[in-house]
Every structure is written in structure tokens, then in C-alpha cells.
Amino acid sequence: MPLGLWIREATWVFAVIETVHIMALAVLLGTMIVIDLRLLGLGLKRQPTAEIARLLNPWFWSSFLVMIATGICLFASEAVRLSESSPFSYKMVFLLLAVGVHLTIHRRAISNGIEGAAFSKTAAWLSLGCWLGIALAGRAIAFL
């Protein structure tokens, strides 16, 4: 039986995968919020942003990989419906933007170590906007 069909037809499989997907997103958002608030000059002022990011980096990437793996499984179970879903399209655009921001300007802002500067604040707001956009668009998939 193909993976997508099994996920869709089994009683609890979709719900379990979706729960793990949402939990991974929550961990990822938690790590990003802590780092982005620090870039904005708020909270954890005794520690440099680079140190906080270094400590949270394994949590970020682990939850990102779990989120991607479970997302692929969820997509496999509803590929036709999702391919026609506007919120899903927005979620994928936000995901690409979030990863792009994270790997470029966000990383540079963290390594600069100038918390509260205009560049750091811009990176933090872009990061927060993209990751929260993913969460909101993902939630909208069920309703639109």
C-alpha cells in the first residue's frame, strides 16, 4: 500500500503525524522567537546573540527536519487537495522565504553581534514574519 494512502486510510496515523508536525513547528518557533527577541534587544541581555543561537541551533535544525519529514508524509496523504489549496501555496512560499532569510541575513545579523541595530531588527522581524506566516497559512489549510 502506498504511503499516502496508508496515512489517509489508517485510523490514527494522520492525527499522530500532524501532532508531531505541529509540535516540531512549536519547538522551531520557540527557538526563533528567543533568538529574534534577542536580536531586537529584548530579553537575555547578559548573553550574546551568537551564544544563544549556538545553543539553540541543534533544536532548530532537529525540529526543522522533523517538520519537513512529517510535512512530506502529510502532503503525500492529501497531495491532490493540497496542490489546489491557496493557503498551502502561501505556506510553501513562506517556508522558502524563511529558510532563505535564516541562511542569509539572519545568520549575518547573529554573527554581527550588534543587538538592537537596524539590520538586526530587520532580520528579526523578517524571520518572525516568515515563520509565523508558515504557522498561520498551515492552520488556514484546514479551513480554506
Number of residues in the chain: 144
The DSSP annotation for 52-97 comes to: HHHHHHHHHHHHHHHHHHHHHHHHHHSHHHHHT-HHHHHHHHHHHH
Mean pLDDT for the chain? 93
Which helix (H) or strand (E) segment holds residue 4: the answer is helix 3-9
* Cβ–Cβ under 8 Å, residues 132 and 98: no
Q: pLDDT tens, 39-90? A: 998 888 888 999 999 999 999 999 999 999 999 999 999 999 999 999 999 9
State the pTM of this model. Answer: 0.90
pLDDT reported for residue 11: 86
Instruction: Give the Cβ contact number of residue 102 at 10 Å.
Output: 20
DSSP SS3 for 46: coil
pLDDT of 1 > 70? The answer is no
Residue 120's contacts (CB-CB under 8 Å, 6 or more residues apart) are: 39, 40, 41, 49, 109, 112, 114
- Alpha-carbon distances, residue 77 vs 15, 107, 126, 129 (angstroms): 12, 35, 31, 28
Task: Provide mean pLDDT across the span 125-144.
Answer: 94
Q: pLDDT tens, 90-115? A: 999 999 999 999 999 999 999 887 77
Q: pLDDT tens, 17-32? A: 999 999 999 999 999 9
pLDDT reported for residue 17: 96
